[in-house]
Amino acid sequence: MSSNVLSESDKSKVVDLANRHTKPSGTTYQYGTAGFRMKADQLDPVMFTVGIVAALRSKKLDSKIIGVMVTASHNPEEDNGVKLVDPRGDMLEQAWEGYATALANSSSPEELVHQIHQMVTALQIDLSKPANVIYARDTRPSGPALVSALVDGLKAAPGGTTTYTDEGVLTTPILHYLVRCKNTLGTEEEYGVPTEEGYYEKLATAFKKLLKPRGSIDSQNAPEELLVDCANGVGTTATEKLAKHLEGYIKLIPVNTSIDKLGVLNKGCGADYVKTQQKLPPSMVPLLQPNQRACSLDGDADRLMYYYLDRNGKFKMLDGDKIAALVAGFFGELMEHAGISKEELDVGVVQTAYANGASTHYLSQRVPVQCVPTGVKHLHHAAEHYSIGVYFEANGHGTVLFSANALNVLRRHQATSPAQQASLENLIALTELINQTVGDALSDMLLVEVVLAYRGHGGAEWDSLYTDLPNRLVKVSVKDRGAFKTEDAERRLTAPQGLQDKLDALIKKYEGGRAFVRPSGTEDVVRVYAEATHKVEADELAFKVAGMVYDEVGGDPASRPKEFM
């Protein structure tokens, strides 16, 4: 019998277990751009309430499997976080973020019961349904204890049985893959074998179809070996396991692989280090040779940054924008070679305001380009509107989505020559190689290697697609970042009042100038981005805008950063 009411025993179960996970007073939690994320020692009560939300989400969706990933990605090792994965392997539906936030902020076990009751009533959740949840974590030492709190939450979930499975230590994209596989098993949309091994096998099989074994013509341009900076995190084991499947095709050499020591995750390495420092991780310095490329994963292996040394040994970065530029063109080419018209399948690219202006210019001349607010969920949803939707954040998080119609067109298309057939098969193999659930550093890395091998290009040729405009990102600490409101995909401020007009007047003075201000969704700061034709001017514009922002909201003159102008 269906029920939207918590029984007395449901309530006392919640209260009993909630008493072990009380919220410290004065802490406010927020399900933000990437779920809940903060210092690990504050997360215990949140993990507990997330367990309850995961079970309720499963009940609401006819007992479909919901995923929970415990990670703080590229953040320092002492941080941790948690995010929910919906049945198709994508991010939690946005409307539920508010409920997750409300439960996390309940001030007492009784208040929590009340919040659950409100949620169940508002969403008409049939509590009698069973719930199914799987979870995984990254390598952070705080992970196991947080997982125990999560399990208490799963046990506390009201109504019918909640079944849960510990998938152990995994990359974020593998957990997303598992969720989709398990939910589509035995259906027409079956996504893959629902095991970690199934994931490596799927990627490797597709890669081997695309890039014939070493020695054959197609692969002569692939690198003998590729250095992969694993950020001292969970990407280490995943890279090692994937490497075994790719033997004879490409040799992956993991670097920054110490996952057992304290304090080294993401430190001096990883995708975020490369993007923000714009230099080689120190451990790569003795390893990388001129004209050689390498890549860095982040702490949960969903972001990817490439780079190479030019022939003079100078560091050159190939970020998410460059990846988007590389792969968007490739799909157009393959479709043409397969005899598929642009009317049959449209290719589109989705970026955020942080995309380098030069990449937007380059891409806009070739394909439709859309700008959306920061955060993968926004990019992912926008990309779903194209037959082939390419989305990447500049920081290296992204993937390529194929619509159901695109898959049908590829399946049904009749090639009229062996060459067309080969291109068609390559397109189909790409739909297998590319993770359809979320940005995936390992899958993206193989995609990049395939495109470069086909074109016979190295880092330098790839880099020459366009030249990045000089740019600068600055953080401004303010009392209340909530005072900053934006519109037009976060490119313009609507509050504080009048500030955007001042910015416009300033930006106008700079050749090729572009700048915008937005509150971060993951850190207690306001971010300033600026670019201009010349480096000195990009820096000057960024620091002038930062100064304006600081002064506008009454920043203390005594602690005004000295570089602000």
Ligand X SMILES: CC(=O)N[C@H]1[C@@H](OP(=O)(O)O)O[C@H](CO)[C@@H](O)[C@@H]1O
Binding residues for Mg(2+) are 73, 298, 300, 302
Q: Closest CB to ligand X among 33 and 266?
A: 33
CA angle 195–232–172, rounded 5-degree value: 35
3-state secondary structure of 345: coil
For ligand X, the binding residues in 72-101 under the rule CB under 6 A are: 73
How buried is residue 215: exposed, middle or buried, by Cβ count under 10 Å (0-12/13-18/19+)?
Answer: exposed
Q: Which residue type occupies 155? A: K
Catalytic residue among 63, 73, 219, 443: 73
Residue 298 contact partner, candidates ligand X, Mg ion, none, CB within 5 to 8 A by sort of partner: Mg ion
Q: Which of residues 139, 237, 266, 374 is near ligand X by CB under 6 A?
A: 374
Cβ-Cβ contacts under 8 Å for 493 (sequence gap 6 or more): 484, 485, 486, 487, 499, 500, 503, 516, 517, 518
Annotated binding-site residues read 73, 298, 300, 302, 393-395, 518-522, 527
Considering the rule CB under 6 A, would residue 346 count as an interface residue with ligand X? no
Give the residue among 176, 179, 172, 169 at the shortest CA–CA distance from 137.
169
Nearer to ligand X, 338 or 376 (CB): 376
Question: Binding marks (x or -) toward Mg ion, 282..321, rule CB under 5 A?
Answer: ----------------x-x-xx------------------
Query: Cα separation of 84 and 133, whole Å?
Result: 10
Beta strands at 526-531 and 471-476: parallel, antiparallel or unpaired: antiparallel
The site partner of 49 among ligand X, Mg ion, none (C-beta below 5 to 8 Å per kind) is none
Closest CA to 345 of 260, 251, 408, 298: 408
Geometric angle at alpha carbon 135, from 4 and 438, rounded to 5°: 100
Binding of ligand X by 523 (CB under 6 A): yes
Residue 508: CB atoms within 10 A of its CB come to 8
Is 138 a binding residue for Mg ion by CB under 5 A? The answer is: no
351 binds ligand X (CB under 6 A): no
**Binding-site residues for substrate, please?**
393-395, 518-522, 527
CB of 33 to ligand X, least distance (A): 5
Among 11, 18, 31, 33, binds ligand X (CB under 6 A): 33
Which residue is nearest to Mg ion, using beta carbons? 73
Q: How many other C-beta atoms are found inside a 10 Å radius of the C-beta of residue 259?
A: 19
Torsion sign (Cα): 438, 441, 447, 452: positive
CA distance 51 to 28: 18
At closest approach, how far in Å is the CB of 428 from ligand X? 30
The Cα 62–Cα 350 span in angstroms is: 32
From ligand X, Mg ion, none, interface partner of 159 (C-beta below 5 to 8 A by class): none
# of chain residues touching Mg ion (CB under 5 A):
5
Closest to Mg ion by CB, 97 vs 302, is 302
Looking at the DSSP bridge assignments, the partners of residue 544 are: none
In the chain, the amino acid numbered 116 is I
Classified as helix, coil or strand, 348 is strand
Shortest distance, CB of residue 374 to ligand X, whole angstroms? Answer: 5
- If contact means CB under 5 to 8 A according to the sort of partner, which of ligand X, Mg ion, none does residue 339 touch? none
Q: Which does 137 bind (CB under 5 to 8 A by kind): Mg ion, ligand X, none?
A: none
| Closer of 61 and 72 to ligand X (Cβ) | 72
Q: Which of 354, 454, 510, 564 binds ligand X (CB under 6 A)?
A: 354
Residues 6+ apart with CB under 8 A from 464: none
> Smallest distance, Å, CB 267 to ligand X?
18
Residue closer to ligand X (CB basis): 33 or 239: 33
Residue 68 half-sphere exposure toward CB, CA atoms < 13 A: 34
Count interface residues toward ligand X (CB under 6 A): 15
523 binds, among ligand X, Mg ion, none (CB under 5 to 8 A by kind): ligand X
Asked if 378 interacts with ligand X (CB under 6 A), we say no
Work out whether 266 is an interface residue with Mg ion (CB under 5 A).
no
Q: Which of 204, 386, 522, 528 binds ligand X (CB under 6 A)?
A: 522
Are 387 and 345 within 8 A, CB to CB? yes
Q: Per rule CB under 6 A, is residue 395 in the interface with ligand X?
A: yes
Query: Which is closer to Mg ion, CB of 152 or CB of 300?
Result: 300
Binds 207, which of ligand X, Mg ion, none (CB < 5 to 8 A, cut-off by type)?
Answer: none
- Phi/psi for 484 (5° steps) reads -100, 120
Task: Candidates 11-19, 371-379, 424-432, 540-548: pick the segment binding ligand X (CB under 6 A).
Answer: 371-379
Radius of gyration of the chain (CA): 24
The amino acid that residue 469 corresponds to is L
By the rule CB under 5 A, 229 interacts with Mg ion: no
34 lines the binding site for ligand X (CB under 6 A): yes
Does residue 113 contact residue 6 with C-beta atoms inside 8 Å? yes
Structure tokens, 530: 């600026």
Instruction: Check residue 183 for interaction with Mg ion (CB under 5 A).
Output: no
How far apart CA 304 and CA 392 sit, in angstroms, is 10
Q: Which residues contact 445 (CB under 8 A, 6 or more apart)?
A: 226, 228, 295, 304
Q: How far is the CB of 523 from ligand X (least distance, A)?
A: 5
Q: By CB under 5 A, tell whether 435 contacts Mg ion.
A: no
**Residue the block writes with tokens 């969403």:** 123
Q: Which residue is nearest to ligand X (CB)?
A: 521
Decide: is 471 part of the binding site for ligand X (CB under 6 A): no
DSSP 127-159: TTS-EEEEEEE-S-TTHHHHHHHHHHHHHH--S
The entry of ligand X, Mg ion, none near residue 300 (CB within 5 to 8 angstroms by kind) is: Mg ion
- Which residue number, 115 or 352, has a Cβ lying nearer to ligand X? 352
Round to whole Å and give the CA distance between 352 and 381: 13
Is there a catalytic annotation at residue 258?
Answer: no
Active site residues: 73
Contact residues for ligand X, defined by CB under 6 A: 33-34, 73, 354, 374-376, 393, 395, 397, 520-523, 527
Contact residues for Mg ion, defined by CB under 5 A: 73, 298, 300, 302-303
